[in-house]
Amino acid sequence: MNEPAIIAELKNIHLAIGGRSILEDVSFDIHAGQSLGVAGPAEGGKTILLHICLGRLKPSQGESRVLGLPSARVGLQRGRIGFSPQIHRDRENPDRLGEEIVMDGVWPKTMIRQESRETSIRVQAALETTHAQSLAPQRWGEMTLAERWRLRLAQAIVNHPDLLVLDEFGSGLAIAARQDLLSLVAEIKKTAGMTTVYLTREASLIAPFIDQVVWLDKQVRYLGPPGELPEQYATASQPAEP
């Protein structure tokens, strides 16, 4: 059987900022169709590594490639990458409608300016896939946290990406509500065949939804099946909304 194609590869990534070491000799591959968790403590380097992969930061040493291109050029593949960042409640205009927020994810942006029929079809399809049709006319400020996460997922998948990256997806929710969202992601992944990467502090929470986990704390401390992750890495606490 042929090995799955490599979607992203990181080789010997080092990063130091202001003389402080952030990442040290980080190397691993992400394969097509994989569900990978990148877990680790706060300040462990997860989000910094993501910025390197997306070409937003240049490592001090090493190389990263995503979708066949050096990360510095990954913007050329923007439509093939779906990204759901952490939600910061004060960063989105509370008066914006759900449909507008999902439309923000459409690429290329010329489709939005032209108000094309394809743009409308993509947005509606993403809302339906995430069971968020009712949120289209709602204002962001009136939505619950769970509804906002669902809308962010719709925004991330609106271009039918090959790679979906979720940063602390569902954080702030009670465990049951968060698992419902993760189950939805798993259903979408299975149907679309996309590669999914979860960044999280709580490896145990995403374990049922991933094939492999990387535990990152400046260095790769573990890479393998989530069921074999050493106990001291398995959990990290964070507040949840009731």
Query: Each residue of 171-225: pLDDT tens digit?
Result: 999 999 999 999 999 999 999 999 999 999 989 999 999 999 999 999 999 999 9
pLDDT of the residue at 158? 96
Q: Which domains occur in the chain, in start order?
A: 6-234 (3.40.50.300)
pLDDT of the residue at 118? 85
List residues bridging with 38 in a β-sheet. Answer: 199, 214
Q: What percent of the chain has pLDDT over 90?
A: 78
pLDDT of the residue at 4? 77
Task: Summarize pLDDT for 29-83 with one digit per residue, the tens.
Answer: 999 999 999 999 988 999 999 999 999 999 999 999 999 999 999 887 889 999 9
The average confidence (pLDDT) of the chain is: 91
Alpha helix ranges (H) inside 75-212: 98-103, 110-113, 117-129, 145-157, 175-192, 203-206
Q: What percent of the chain has pLDDT over 70?
A: 92
Q: What is 22-49 written as a DSSP string?
A: EEEEEEEEEETT-EEEEE--TTSSHHHH
Beta-strand pair 195-200/35-39: parallel
Beta-strand pair 69-70/61-66: antiparallel
pLDDT of the residue at 116? 76
Task: Summarize pLDDT for 74-84 with one digit per residue, the tens.
Answer: 887 889 999 99
What is the mean predicted confidence (pLDDT) over 91-115? 83
pLDDT above 80 (res 151): yes
pLDDT above 70 (res 237): no
pTM, 2 dp = 0.91
